[in-house]
C-alpha cells in the first residue's frame, strides 16, 4: 500500500521519472540492489525538497546532489535526515490540535533508515514527506478555490459567448431570409405584366403617375387623406380648419 501511495503522489506532483520501468511497487524492495535503491531515494527526495523549498532552497539543503561518489551520498543522507526531522517537528508543533498533520505522527526519521532505503519505516518517511508536499502545493486551491484571475477569465468568456450567440442568431435570420429569397427566385410569381414589352410597361407607369398627380391636388388630396384616416373637416368661423374623428360624432 505504501509504495502505491508514493507512486500516486509522485504522479500527481508530475515527477518526470515516475513513468520509467523501474518505478513500480518493488522500487524499494529489499531484493533490489542497494545502489539502485539509494539512487532512486536521492532522486525522489531531491525532487520533493525542490517542490517544497524551490530550486535555490534545494541546492542549499542538498548541495551534494547529484551524488557522484560515496562521500557525497553520505552527506546527502545526513542533510536530508536533519531537514526531514526539522520539518516533521515544525509541522507537529505549529499545527492546531484539530489540524495536526496525521501523516507525520507515527514517522521516525533516522539516517540509518535512509541508508537502508527499504522497509515499512523507510516507506513511511517518503509517503509522509510526499503527502506534506502535496498539501503545501494544494493550499492555494483549497484556500481560494476561485481566484480572481479565474473569475475574470470566466466573466470574459461568458461575455464573448453572449456576443457569439447574438451573432449566430443574426446569421440564422439572414440564412432564413436568403432561403426565402432563393425559393422565390426559383419559382417566379406570374404577373399579368410579364408578357408586356419594356416600352409598354414604361408607358403604363407614366400614365399611372399622371393619374395620381391629378388626383393628389389641393383640397381633393386633403379630403382623401382625412377619409382614409377616419377624420373629417369642420370650419371654425371661416378662419381655419379643424379635424374631428368621424367615430366621435
230 and 112 belong to one structural domain? no
Residue 163 lies in a domain: no
Distance CA 7, CA 23 (A): 8
Express each pLDDT in 170-183 by its tens digit.
999 999 999 988 88
Query: What's 2's DSSP letter?
Result: H
Name the nearest CA neighbour of 241 among 215, 226, 224.
226
236 and 131 belong to one structural domain? no
Task: Please indicate whether residue 73 or residue 95 has the higher confidence score (pLDDT).
Answer: 73
- Identify the pLDDT of residue 150: 67
132 and 14 belong to one structural domain? yes
- Identify the pLDDT of residue 243: 47
- Identify the pLDDT of residue 40: 92
Residue 196 lies in a domain: no
Where is the domain boundary, 93, 124, 143? Answer: 143
What's the structural domain count of the chain?
2
How many beta carbons lie within 10 A of that of residue 245, not counting itself? 10
- Identify the pLDDT of residue 144: 57
> Domain of 244?
201-249
Express each pLDDT in 6-56 by its tens digit.
898 898 888 988 888 889 989 999 899 999 999 999 999 999 999 888 899
Residue 170 lies in a domain: no
Reported as half-sphere exposure (CB side, CA atoms, 13 A), residue 44 has a value of 29
Residue 190 lies in a domain: no
The values of phi and psi at residue 231, to 5°, are: -120, 165
207 and 136 belong to one structural domain? no
The least confident of 116-125, 136-145, 184-193, 195-204 is 136-145
The answer to whether 62 touches 80, Cβ cutoff 8 Å, is: yes
- Identify the pLDDT of residue 175: 92
Residue 78 lies in a domain: yes
Residue 158 lies in a domain: no
248 and 137 belong to one structural domain? no
21 and 137 belong to one structural domain? yes
Mean pLDDT of the chain: 81
16 and 106 belong to one structural domain? yes
Distance of CA 72 to the CA centre of its chain: 46
Distance CA 8, CA 199 (A): 89
139 and 205 belong to one structural domain? no
Where is the domain boundary, 116, 143, 170? Answer: 143
- Identify the pLDDT of residue 71: 92
All cell numbers assigned to 95: 499545527
Task: Please indicate whether residue 92 or residue 84 has the higher confidence score (pLDDT).
Answer: 84
Over residues 205-217, mean pLDDT? 76
34 and 133 belong to one structural domain? yes
pLDDT category at 149 given cuts 50, 70, 90 is low
116 and 225 belong to one structural domain? no
Query: What's 217's DSSP letter?
Result: S
pLDDT category at 210 given cuts 50, 70, 90 is confident
Q: Count how many residues are written for the chain.
A: 249
- Identify the pLDDT of residue 49: 93
Residue 225 lies in a domain: yes
The answer to whether 45 touches 37, Cβ cutoff 8 Å, is: no
207 and 139 belong to one structural domain? no
225 and 127 belong to one structural domain? no
Where is the domain boundary, 106, 125, 143? Answer: 143
List residues bridging with 241 in a β-sheet: 235
pLDDT category at 205 given cuts 50, 70, 90 is confident
**Torsion-angle region of 236 (φ positive above 0: left; ψ -120 to 50: alpha; else: beta):** beta
Distance CA 135, CA 129 (A): 10
- Identify the pLDDT of residue 248: 47
Over residues 110-119, mean pLDDT? 90
The least confident of 110-114, 168-172, 213-217 is 213-217
The answer to whether 245 touches 230, Cβ cutoff 8 Å, is: yes
Express each pLDDT in 227-248 by its tens digit.
777 776 665 444 445 444 444 4
Q: How far is CA 166 from each of CA 113, 154, 161, 171, rounded to the nearest angstrom? A: 66, 19, 9, 9
pLDDT category at 148 given cuts 50, 70, 90 is low
- Identify the pLDDT of residue 172: 92
Amino acid at each position: 500500500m505504501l509504495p502505491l501511495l508514493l507512486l500516486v503522489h509522485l504522479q500527481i506532483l508530475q515527477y518526470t521519472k515516475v513513468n520509467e520501468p523501474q518505478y513500480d511497487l518493488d522500487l524499494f524492495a529489499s531484493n533490489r540492489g542497494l545502489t539502485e535503491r539509494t539512487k532512486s531515494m536521492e532522486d525522489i527526495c531531491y525532487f520533493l525538497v525542490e517542490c517544497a523549498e524551490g530550486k535555490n532552497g534545494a541546492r542549499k539543503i542538498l548541495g551534494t546532489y547529484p551524488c557522484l561518489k560515496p562521500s557525497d551520498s553520505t552527506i546527502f543522507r545526513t542533510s536530508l535526515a536533519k531537514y526531514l526531522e526539522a520539518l516533521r517537528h515544525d509541522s507537529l508543533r505549529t499545527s492546531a490540535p484539530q489540524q495536526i498533520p496525521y501523516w507525520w505522527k507515527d514517522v521516525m526519521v533516522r539516517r540509518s533508515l535512509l541508508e537502508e532505503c527499504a522497509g515499512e519505516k523507510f516507506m513511511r518517511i517518503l509517503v509522509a514527506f510526499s503527502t506534506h508536499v502535496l498539501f503545501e502545493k494544494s493550499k492555494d486551491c483549497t484556500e481560494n478555490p476561485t481566484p480572481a484571475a479565474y473569475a475574470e477569465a470566466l466573466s470574459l468568456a461568458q461575455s464573448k459567448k453572449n456576443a457569439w450567440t447574438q451573432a449566430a442568431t443574426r446569421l440564422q435570420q439572414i440564412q432564413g431570409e436568403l432561403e426565402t429569397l432563393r425559393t422565390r427566385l426559383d419559382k417566379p410569381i406570374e404577373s399579368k405584366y410579364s408578357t408586356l414589352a419594356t416600352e409598354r410597361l414604361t408607358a403604363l407607369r407614366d400614365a399611372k403617375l399622371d393619374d395620381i398627380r391629378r388626383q393628389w391636388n389641393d383640397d381633393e388630396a386633403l379630403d382623401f387623406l382625412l377619409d382614409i384616416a377616419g377624420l373629417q373637416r369642420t370650419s371654425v368661423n371661416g378662419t381655419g380648419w379643424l379635424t374631428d374623428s368621424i367615430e366621435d360624432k
